[in-house]
Amino acid sequence: MITTLAIMALGAVVLGAALGYASIRFKVEGDPLVEKIEAILPQTQCGQCGYPGCKPYAAAISAGEADINLCPPGGIDGVRKLADLLGREVKALEAEEKPKQVAIIDEQTCIGCTLCIQACPVDAIVGAAKQMHTIIEPLCTGCELCIKPCPVECIYMLPIAENLDNWKWKYPVIEIKRAA
């Protein structure tokens, strides 16, 4: 009887110690789900979802506060991936999907106020006070956050045209057989 109790107690102590050790040794910092969600989001940091960046939106999705269809730059493809990851239903996008675009500064009109530089979340605008600003196109994520602050309305969005570098083979079109 005593031996049995001793064995059980010993087992409990050993297993408890092992679990306690494992919880410290293998502690996961942060929420891995948030990271996975964030990896799917397009990192435009545009705030169109209503959250101040992609990470807060990811956290909100993970916490169940936000829906998965609030990210227009991610498009329906992004919604599909999020639905796959989270096991939710695919929903139509809240806003309409736009083609990928870049911001362009009309350098003739720019007065060098630096407001757009402060607004750009990804440091894609160069310039200095009272100097002309310009956008580094490859770095621009097309978030449109620079358009509103511009006092002279010299920034506009331009859809990215197809060129040899971003050209893709198209999905083969299946011709429907003509009815005789």
Helix (H) or strand (E) holding 13: helix 2-25
Give yes or no for residue 48 binding another protein (CB under 8 A): no
x/- binding map, residues 58-97, to another protein, per CB under 8 A?
Answer: ----------------------------------------
Q: Which two tokens stand for residue 13?
A: 């102590």
Task: Considering only CA atoms, give the Rg of the chain.
Answer: 26
Q: Report d(CA 112, CA 153) in Å as an integer.
A: 12
User: Does 177 sit near another protein (CB under 8 A)?
Assistant: yes
Alpha carbon distance 73, 95 (integer Å):
10
Q: Pick out residues in 103-142 that bind another protein (CB under 8 A).
A: 121-124, 138-139, 141
* CB of 102 closer than 8 Å to CB of 140: yes
Residue of 96, 130, 171, 180 interacting with another protein (CB under 8 A)? 171
Residues in the chain: 180
Q: Are 102 and 145 in contact (CB under 8 A)?
A: no
151 to 71, 115, 147, 148: CA distances (angstroms): 27, 8, 9, 8
* Minimum distance of another protein from residue 29's CB (angstroms): 16
**Tokens 């675009």 — which residue?**
101
Q: Is 180 in the site for another protein (CB under 8 A)?
A: no
113 is in an annotated binding site: yes
CB of 65 to another protein, least distance (A): 21
168 binds another protein (CB under 8 A): yes
Taking residues 15 to 44 in sequence order and writing x for each that binds another protein by CB under 8 A, - otherwise, the string is -----------------------x--xxxx
In Å, the largest CA–CA distance within the chain is: 93
Q: Which residues carry a binding-site annotation for [4Fe-4S] cluster?
A: 46, 49, 54, 71, 110, 113, 116, 120, 140, 143, 146, 150
Please give the residue ranges that form the binding site for another protein (CB under 8 A): 38, 41-45, 53-54, 121-124, 138-139, 141, 162-164, 166-172, 174-175, 177
